[in-house]
Amino acid sequence: MATIKHHLSDALLMAYSAGALPEAFNLVVATHISMCDDCRARMESFDSVGGAVLDTCDSAAVSDDSLAATLALIAAAPVDHKRPAPRPAGLFPAPLRDYVGGDLDSVRWKKLGGGVSQYLLDTSRDATVRLLHIPAGRAVPDHGHRGTELTLVLQGAFLDGKDRFARGDIEIADEDLEHTPVADIGEDCICLAATDARLRFNKLIPRIAQPFIGM
């Protein structure tokens, strides 16, 4: 397995642990964590800190029958005795596979032009997340950002300036970054990308197409 070189920031991991991220960002973070031992260990340490903080908080009053009511709901819930089927091996880690409803062969790609395709995933409206398929050697149009963009590589790799992002690597882009990512040669690049604001394309044709492609 290739070594992951580009990781999530502490700020993103803490926000994920606290439940403060949009659903789209949660999906990217959860998918990366499922692939990255380093970020998963750091996230678990933040979970532990959060639990310790909760232990110091004042307790809240509840009704006298709250425990009995909760136990009654548990007892009334249907019991499924079937063992879950083992997850098949594939390109997508479990968190992403659950959203797609399968693996790569379940994706309904929509062409964007220049050989690039996308597949929008259904999440809450405060951010968007999509799968991107970029042919080897092709570039995403030059653009900046009005917010934050998280891009996780699932297959192949892309080059951005002096950095190379391969499977498991995640790029965190903000309003200060202007770039033109290029899919590395040898294999098509498939990424999972989440944004909380529209991209800022620098050329006319992508700007004209932007309302139709939702980026």
pLDDT band at 206 (very low <50, low <70, confident <90, very high): low
State the pairing for strand pair 149-155/170-173.
antiparallel
User: Degrees (nearest 5) of the Cα angle 106, 107, 109?
Assistant: 150
Q: Which of 2-6, 7-11, 172-176 has the highest mean pLDDT?
A: 7-11
Mean pLDDT of 174-190: 87
pLDDT tens digits along 113-147: 778 899 999 999 899 999 999 999 998 866 666 78
Q: Is residue 203 pLDDT above 60, yes or no? A: no
Instruction: Name 23's Cβ contacts closer than 8 Å, sequence gap at least 6.
Output: 123, 124, 126, 127, 129
Q: Is residue 41 pLDDT above 60, yes or no? A: yes
Q: Is residue 79 pLDDT above 90, yes or no? A: no
- Sheet order of strands, 182-183 included: 163-166, 157-160, 182-183
The owner of tokens 């992951």 is 4
d(CA 155, CA 183): 10
Provide CATH code, domain 1-53+94-215: 2.60.120.10
> Which secondary-structure segment (H or E) carries 28?
helix 23-35
The reply to whether the predicted model has a pTM over 0.75 is yes
pLDDT tens digits along 13-31: 999 999 999 999 999 999 9
Question: What is the 8-class DSSP label of residue 35?
Answer: H
